[in-house]
Amino acid sequence: MKNVILLLSVISMIFGIIISSALLYPFFEMGFSTIANEYPNSKVYMLSLIIGNSGISTIEIVGMDLTTKNLIIVNVPNDLTFHGQTISKIYQEFGIKRMEEAIEKESGLKLTDYMISTKSALENYESGLNYNTIGDLFNNLEKNSKLEDPISIFHAFKSFSSNFVSTITLTKFIRLLRFIETKPVISSISYPSIYINGSIVTDEGELKNFAMEMENCAPFHNPFSIKPVIINCTNENPTAFYQNNWSKWSQNGYNFDLIPEICGNFSGENVVLSLSDATWKTIALKSALLKIYPKLNFKFLTENDPNFLKMYYSISNWAASERYYTLGNYDFVILLGS
């Protein structure tokens, strides 16, 4: 009888060791390679949806380079259209997998995961905090992440999987948690899109830059990729204005457009309306203006300026009267008055 009890004890002990090893293995450095194999290229591209009361409220693509510790969040328009159908409608009618396939085919990006949430679920996951985008969650995790014991990580994963519908498994969760603990550099960009014939579609001319940004999971700061439009607020006739300024901008290699018709509403003013919130683009434009117009001083207005909207709508209405309808597609609107 004693031998039987001893044998059962040994079997139980061996079984316990096997179960414990299986559970704890991912948390030891010797098991780290197994976790890393979840993302063999050390790249994560996750489609994130936040669902509101009336449908999709936020669409983002989160790119993570686990080697260089870069994290990029791509803001995708809800009404981005692929072949006559918005991606929101694709999701509503066909589900997340078809939506993934449509984005991959259009952008050339291979998505590794998806995550579907609601705003209340995000706030439930980190109680007491206000979330509108997945970027808010990552920013908070970056500030508050810390190395936890295995039991705590299991509880964290249980909370994660109960709040979100995703393809993130336990081992992926551990891999991403360790990545967040490294305090990655978080940046944000917009999906390359353009407004054409009443629809927002992919800007194919910007896909090359987008591919570079997603490969590195960091913004591609090419100063020549900024897109300003220069409006004639001088007394110079349209032909002369066009010829003079086309020469100056094209010689320096910038991507730009001109509206040579005289805008008398802001005659003599040198003002820049910033439609882009990217700091590097503002810096690049200031450098360009200093090079092209070294003797002129420009006043920069952003959306936070109380005069911004009034001036923007005034210029938009004037431009529309001259049959220029795409001011919103530019990074900057430059009023050149002298």
Structural domains present in the chain:
35-216 (3.40.630.190), 223-336 (3.30.70)
CB atoms within 10 A of CB 222: 12
pLDDT of 279: 78
| Per-residue pLDDT at 15 exceeds 80 | no
The number of residues in the chain equals: 338
CB atoms within 10 A of CB 234: 19
pLDDT of 99: 96
Question: Residue 148's pLDDT band (boundaries 50, 70, 90)?
Answer: low
| Per-residue pLDDT at 60 exceeds 80 | yes
Query: Distance (Å, rounded) from C-alpha 207 to C-alpha 216?
Result: 14
pLDDT of 150: 67
Mean pLDDT, residues 258-271:
93
The candidate with the shortest Cα–Cα distance to 28, out of 182, 178, 145, 157, is 178
- Work out the angle at residue 42's Cα, subtended by the Cα atoms of residues 41 and 45, and round it to the nearest 5 degrees: 95
Tell me which H or E stretch contains 82: strand 81-82
Mean pLDDT, residues 20-49:
64
Q: Provide, rounded to the nearest whole percent, the portion of the chain with pLDDT above 70.
A: 81
Mean pLDDT, residues 277-297:
87
pLDDT of 20: 47
At 16, the amino acid letter reads G
pLDDT of 25: 46
Tell me which H or E stretch contains 245: helix 238-251
Per the listing, tokens 């679920």 go with 121
Its pTM stands at 0.59
Assigned token pair, 285: 């434009």
pLDDT of 114: 95
